[in-house]
Structure 1
Amino acid sequence: MATITTLASSVPLFRPYSFPGGSSRKPKKDNLSIKPPATSSLKVNAKLASADDTSSNFNKDNWLASADELSRSFPPGFLFGGGSASYQYEGAVKEGGRTPSIWDTFAHEFPDKIADGSNGDVAVDFYHRYKDDVKLMKKIGVNGFRFSISWTRILPSGKLCGGVNKEGVAFYNSLINELLANGIEPFVTIFHWDLPQGLENEYDGFLSGQIVNDYRDYAEVCFQEFGDRVKFWTTLNEPWTFCYNGYVNGSFAPGRCSTCTAGNSGTEPYLVAHNLLLSHAAVAQLYKNKYQASQKGQIGIVLVCFWMVPYSDCPYDCEAAQRALDFMLGWFLHPLTYGDYPESMRHLVGERLPQFTEMQAMMMKGSIDFLGLNYYTSIYAANNESPNPHDISYTTDSRVNLFQKRDGILIGPATGTPAFCFCPEGIRDLLVYTKEKYNNPIIYITECGLAEANINTVDQGVKDVERVEFYYEHLKFLRSAIKKGVNVKGFFTWSLLDDWEWNSGFNVRFGIVYIDHEDGLKRYLKYSALWFKKLFGK
């Protein structure tokens, strides 16, 4: 899932998302000598859109009935599914020819950076149990399943010259065939952060332009082996999160930052993002030129963003909210739509922000057939009145401070994850913003979910009425966005199963299916799974 920290200075929280302190403050006029120009005529307003048909009728005592209200709200062909990622689900890290990724190394070498000291060696054992899990999907009634391919299961050396692993190919072929046999559409992510450790050792992974060719070779094997059946490809999952947590604060693999043993938080995230975008463009071009006509699939990317609410009506806070969106969503979606980074980033980051050649810009622009968008929460954005000129970092470049509280009041009800407030209206506002600023792309909500602390017994854990309410409210605001003309074609829960949640380990649960770690990883449908089952008419 998305595991994010902030655009401004951060204070670590229980979740890997971090926000600055939540105290109130009165906005002041920006006294900087250089004021960034407006990035577009589209303004981010302090007031959210009107509530229209989104008033809440949720009754916790009759939670199942709320599915009826939404059961006919979405058009035929709309994809509803659950999400997953290879390192968070599969386990079997030393089986079937797989070799270590940077997450294997990170979790084992830095267990202190994982909340419970755990790792993904077993995860939820999806590698051995996928057929039973597909049966669960069919029972719930989903018609899509989002999963990622483990690069080192396909290319153990990370490179094509090291050979293709037939066992890895056979596993994913079997998974894809099992899904299709049960009426479930595979929605495949090519890279979900588990970079081959061999490439990290050889040339520092995505810090080097060498990664583009190796990533393209890996993706081509995927197209060749699975493309006859996979109709939805995404090149990258949340490149923002990979850059921020991996290269700004070092909380994720490969664990680089200015205060880490190696790294530079003011330069490396921009370089990594640039190489991620070039890798995406190379793979998208390859697919469109060589495979799309015969395989008849689509290719996109998965991005993540909070909805940024101006801290006040002050113009400086409204501009700050726009900059925050530029530095989180626009960092990637602006090049993919217009061929270059947002003007605010060019202005504020300066020469530390890499340049695209004319040919690269042409490859980038229009390279996605659809956008995968992950949404979890909203946050207040305020103008940073006095940035430290000696603190050169991505976290300070945007000149934005982010707050969960205004006047001592949270932006939304607290959830089991301190960093995520319950802000369902933000999904509508983010979607409408994306439609208006980025040419109304086809959008799939590829992640949206609620975490709960792992403190309950099975009997307690399956009674996740709060998660039912979470999905009910978010789907209502999603319906509202569709009525406003946003081209949304699908929605994936994060996640299908309780999984291994990166540096939270097993301390939180996101799934609609409960995993019992005390009894052989048995699976139990939660109330939320039963709610979706009714929503789908199953």
Structure 2
Amino acid sequence: LTAEGILYMVSSALPPKEALKDPFRYQMLVLVVLVCVAAQTEVVIASDDISTFNRNSFPAGFVFGTASSSYQYEGAAKEGGRGPSIWDYFTHKYPGRIANGSNGDVAIDFYHKYKALQKGKIGITLVSHWMVPYSNSVADKNATQRAIDFMFGWFMDPLTFGDYPQSMRDLVGKRLPKFTEEQTMLVKGSLDFLGLNYYTAFYAVNNPVRNATNLSYSTDSQVNLTPLRDGVPIGPPQSVCIAGIDEVNNSTLTLEEALKDPMRIGYYYSHLRSLKKAIE
């Protein structure tokens, strides 16, 4: 399950009263509330249920994954050619803004420790919408491919072919950096796996640029994106959103007490049980 949600282009033509009706997000909110209510009904867990609920409860091929922000665990703030992140800058410039004055220079030192445990794999997670032609015209079909090139291909083509998509080369011209032969060899085929975050789909409409003095990424593809055709959105508004649980830090708890964490155990148990029911 990757990061998903509901997203669409802002229409400045809508008056505030029309925009606030927002049926897409209303239906998503109803769905989230129903899921939360369902989860609350399963908070009390029998110990024998937990002992029999495991990976084997899910179909073969179902893959579990967890994630965190690199700043929270990677460390090695000045190694491997890494530049400072916004949090590196913030925590060093304003240490008093952090509860205990800490920073992410070391974190859990994952950068060094993972190498001692496994021969890790290098992957990348990309975010991309899906685009479909607004009409059956050749112009809109070509615009659809350009839109994909400018969002997904911008990052994926160098990793696959060692260079940016040809449509980007043609339209961006000298403003698009060129790969040296060494850089091409370095990035081409350099990933072990690919992750994809997808949010929604858009119609792609051909839109040739007529004002060459204000070129930017938003105009270079010469495509307009819209979620509506004749006022009708693409498909039903369904969303599966990020899930998790958060609570206020209790600094009085020992590590052993904190790791018992019955509330979080109950939450994930209930969430996975509901996921299993959905699969079935």
Shift of 1:227: 3.1
Q: Paired residue for 2:211? A: 388
Where relative contact order (Cα < 8 A, 6+ residues apart) is larger, the structure is 2
Report sequence identity in percent: 43
The residue type paired with residue 148 of structure 1 is S
Preserved CA contact (<8 Å) 2:130 2:202:
yes
The residue type paired with residue 19 of structure 1 is M
Residues 1:198 and 1:363: Cα distance change in structure 2 (over 3 Å) = farther
**Alpha-carbon separation, structure 2, partners of 1:313 and 1:335:** 30
Shift of 1:530: 3.4
Superposed structure 1 runs of 4+ greater than 6 Å apart: 1-4, 198-201
- Of 55, 61, 67, 1:146 maps to 67
**Alpha-carbon separation, structure 2, partners of 1:79 and 1:361:** 32
**Alpha-carbon separation, structure 1, partners of 2:279 and 2:86:** 33
Q: Paired residue for 2:252? A: none
Post-superposition CA distance 1:50-88 (Å, at most 9, x none)? xxxxxxxxxx9xx99xxxxxx99x8735313xxxxxxxx
Where 1:390 maps in the other structure, the secondary structure is: coil
1:225 matched to 2:113: yes
Where 2:66 maps in the other structure, the secondary structure is: strand
Where 1:331 maps in the other structure, the secondary structure is: helix
1:374 matched to 2:179: no
1:344 matched to 2:167: yes
Preserved CA contact (<8 Å) 2:4 2:199:
no
Structure 1 unpaired stretches of 5+: 5-14, 24-59, 65-70, 81-143, 162-189, 202-216, 230-294, 415-421, 423-448, 452-494, 498-512
**Alpha-carbon separation, structure 1, partners of 2:69 and 2:279:** 25
The structure whose Rg is larger is 2
Q: Paired residue for 1:197? A: 89
Mapping 1:70-469, distance limit 5 Å:
76-80=60-64, 144-150=65-71, 154-155=75-76, 158-160=77-79, 196-197=88-89, 222-229=110-117, 295-414=118-237, 422=238, 450-451=240-241
Shift of 1:160: 4.3
Aligned residues: 209
Where 2:196 maps in the other structure, the secondary structure is: strand
Post-superposition CA distance 1:273-319 (Å, at most 9, x none)? xxxxxxxxxxxxxxxxxxxxxx3332111111111011111111111
Residues 1:199 and 1:327: Cα distance change in structure 2 (over 3 Å) = farther
The residue type paired with residue 89 of structure 2 is Q
Residues 1:322 and 1:344: Cα distance change in structure 2 (over 3 Å) = same
Residues 1:3 and 1:399: Cα distance change in structure 2 (over 3 Å) = farther
Post-superposition CA distance 1:303-346 (Å, at most 9, x none)? 11111011111111111110010000000000000000000001
Shift of 1:391: 1.9
Preserved CA contact (<8 Å) 2:4 2:198:
no
Post-superposition CA distance 1:466-518 (Å, at most 9, x none)? xxxxxxxxxxxxxxxxxxxxxxxxxxxxx231xxxxxxxxxxxxxxx5x578x
The residue type paired with residue 274 of structure 2 is W
TM-score where L is the length of structure 1: 0.33
Preserved CA contact (<8 Å) 1:20 1:402:
no
**Alpha-carbon separation, structure 1, partners of 2:216 and 2:92:** 23
Preserved CA contact (<8 Å) 1:326 1:342:
yes
Structure 2 unpaired stretches of 5+: 14-33, 40-54, 94-104, 249-262
